[in-house]
Structure 1
Amino acid sequence: MRFYILAWQKYADFAGRTSREEFWMFMLFHLLLTLLCIGLDIAWRNASVFDLLYSAVTLLPLLAITVRRLHDIERSGWWCLVFLLPIFGPLLLLYWLTLEGPVATERSAG
């Protein structure tokens, strides 16, 4: 929960870095909330209202944390656009997001 709140505190911050742990803990909590929204949509027979609202609200924080995670592995944030390539793009991005970043003493200031 701490990582989820931290991501919301930096919801539009595209500078800096996000550790692998911070990113994946955020994604886990995000997945759980997405599943909850889908469950509410099914239970209340809404046409994905909760899921669509939650997805719209979390789009900017998801993009920001992904860009910061790419910075942590020494990649430009623009590489998140690789997701738009069919099949290969999302797999490459997933691979990069699982990589461990350099040790703090080896990092550049960027």
Structure 2
Amino acid sequence: MGFGEAVRTCLTKYVTFDGRARRSEFWYFVLFQILVSIAAAIIDSIVFPRWELGGDQGPVQWLTNVVLLLPSIAVTCRRLHDIDKSGWWQLLNFIPIIGWIIMLIWTIRDGQRHQNRFGYDPKGQLSGPPGGPQDYVPPRPY
């Protein structure tokens, strides 16, 4: 999934909390949020000189943060689903440092390769039985 497709997916699924999201979808959306925040800060510093870069958030930054909040929560929920965790685990973000480190590790991890309780593998790859070739049981002839 490319940058544009990931952003489009996250913005169209802004209230979709079920299903799974690949790492590329999640991290491209994080990059999009960073770029939009930088652009909003620059616009605020030009249009509203009272707000300096690095100071308090200006109205454009505030508006972009509000608009991107729900899609961000939704894609994080779907990303956690990809590693078979409940979306509620993103509340760890409210625990400084330890929670952030745990969330970073979880969002970097590769998702489960097979269907889990939250849906099918978003990569769509059929890579054999869940435990590997040793778990393969050939069908019995009748």
TM-score above 0.5, yes or no: yes
Structure 2 Cα separation of the partners of residues 11 and 85 of structure 1: 25
1:41 aligns with 2:41: no
Map residues 76-87 of structure 1 onto 2, 5 A cutoff: 76-87=86-97
Gaps of 5+ in 1: none
Deviation, structure 1 residue 109: 4.6
Map residues 1-110 of structure 1 onto 2, 5 A cutoff: 1-44=4-47, 45=49, 47=51, 48-103=58-113, 106-110=114-118
Larger RCO: 1 or 2 (CA < 8 Å, sep 6+): 1
Residue in 1 aligned with 2:139?
none
Deviation, structure 1 residue 96: 0.7
Aligned residues: 108
Structure 1 Cα separation of the partners of residues 74 and 96 of structure 2: 22
Percent identical residues: 35
Structure 1 Cα separation of the partners of residues 31 and 16 of structure 2: 20
The alignment's TM-score, normalised by the length of structure 2, stands at 0.72
Deviation, structure 1 residue 107: 2.1
Q: Which has the greater radius of gyration?
A: 2
**1:23-60: CA deviations, max 9, x gaps?**
11111112111110011111222541110000011111
Structure 2 Cα separation of the partners of residues 25 and 11 of structure 1: 15
Structure 2 Cα separation of the partners of residues 74 and 64 of structure 1: 15
CA-atom RMSD in angstroms: 1.2
Structure 2 Cα separation of the partners of residues 17 and 46 of structure 1: 42
SS in structure 1 at match of 2:85 = coil
Structure 2 Cα separation of the partners of residues 16 and 24 of structure 1: 17
Contact 2:84 2:117 in 1 (8 A): no
Higher helix share: 1
Moved over 6 A (4+): none
